[in-house]
Amino acid sequence: MTCGWLQDQVVLITGGGSGLGLAIVERFMQEGARLAVLERSFEKCESLVRRFGDAVVAVQGNVILPEDNARAVDATIARFGRLDCFIGNAAIWDHGASLMDTDAASLAAGFDELFAVNVKGYLLGAKAAATELVKSEGSMIFTMSNSSFYPGGGGPLYTSSKHATAGLVRQLAYELAPKVRVNGIGPCGMNTDLRGPQALGQAGRRIMDSRSPEAIKTILPLQFFPSPEDFVGPFVLLASRQNNRALSGVMIQADAGLGIRGIRHVAGGLSL
């Protein structure tokens, strides 16, 4: 019998009800892991339970609340007895709301709502999981974005929130060594249920309402429109004990080559 890369590992992920998080749940189970999910949507929690039964612990809650993060860790330990990996993944986007086109009151309220989910949510998840991860000498992984490295993948709210996750990865990797490995993965555009802040009137708007598959394909040097499943391999690698002993503080740019896009080509030659 062959063992998966995550055989018997216990993993807690936030926002595992759809999109990238759900793809991670599916693949991690194939690799032998046992999963717990902290997810805001009741419907998505119900769907996880319908689909996976007792194999997945679905905790309905909000990542911006310390008590909900603590409840998710407690439920994981109660069911599986340990925690090997925490994945901070739940986030919201800003549909590219720009500085000039967004009024100051909306920027202020949008900042509070978006940073609460994208940055405070990761911090509080890490805080809730840290003691168990020190015990198991496990790992943390944070879902970043191309917006953790480059402008233009969102507006100033999303881009600065995703840049902040780079600081979190570095600081936590520093603080939690030698017991816990802490890493990040920055995917690029894909078709998911990613929404925006209520404060910007975007709670019902999905990412692909503002982006087309063709546009995403065109801007990526590797020239394909990714699906969430295209990004899960690096998560498996970073979570795996036997395949990742040495990586900590590492941020994998899983963005189909955006970093080598280089100087923009214009008709007739290079623009310099």
Residues near ligand NAD, by CB under 6 A: 14-15, 17-21, 38-41, 44, 62-64, 89-92, 117, 121, 143, 145, 187-190, 192-195, 207
Q: What is the dihedral of CA 260, 169, 182, 224, to 10 degrees?
A: -30
Residue 267 Cβ vs ligand NAD, minimum distance, rounded to whole Å: 29
- Widest pairwise Cα distance in the chain: 64
Q: Which residues contact 155 (CB under 8 A, 6 or more apart)?
A: 94, 95, 96, 97, 98, 99, 102
Minimal CB distance residue for ligand NAD: 19
- Phi first, then psi, for residue 11 (nearest 5°) are -125, 130
Which of 16/138 has CB closer to ligand NAD? Answer: 16
Catalytic one of 122, 150, 158, 174:
158
Q: How far is the CB of 113 from ligand NAD (least distance, A)?
A: 9
CB of 103 to ligand NAD, least distance (A): 24
Report the C-alpha gap between 7 and 84 in whole angstroms.
11
Quick one: 34 or 44, whose CB is closer to ligand NAD?
Answer: 44
Give me 189's structure tokens.
């555009």
Pairing mode, if any, of strands 251-254 and 56-60?
Answer: unpaired
Nearer to ligand NAD, 172 or 207 (CB): 207
Shortest spacing between CB 137 and ligand NAD, in angstroms: 26
- How far is Cα 40 from Cα 235, in angstroms, rounded to an integer? 22
Q: Which is nearer to ligand NAD, 138 or 186 (CB)?
A: 186
Residue 158 bears catalytic tag: yes
Could you give the residue numbers annotated as active site?
158
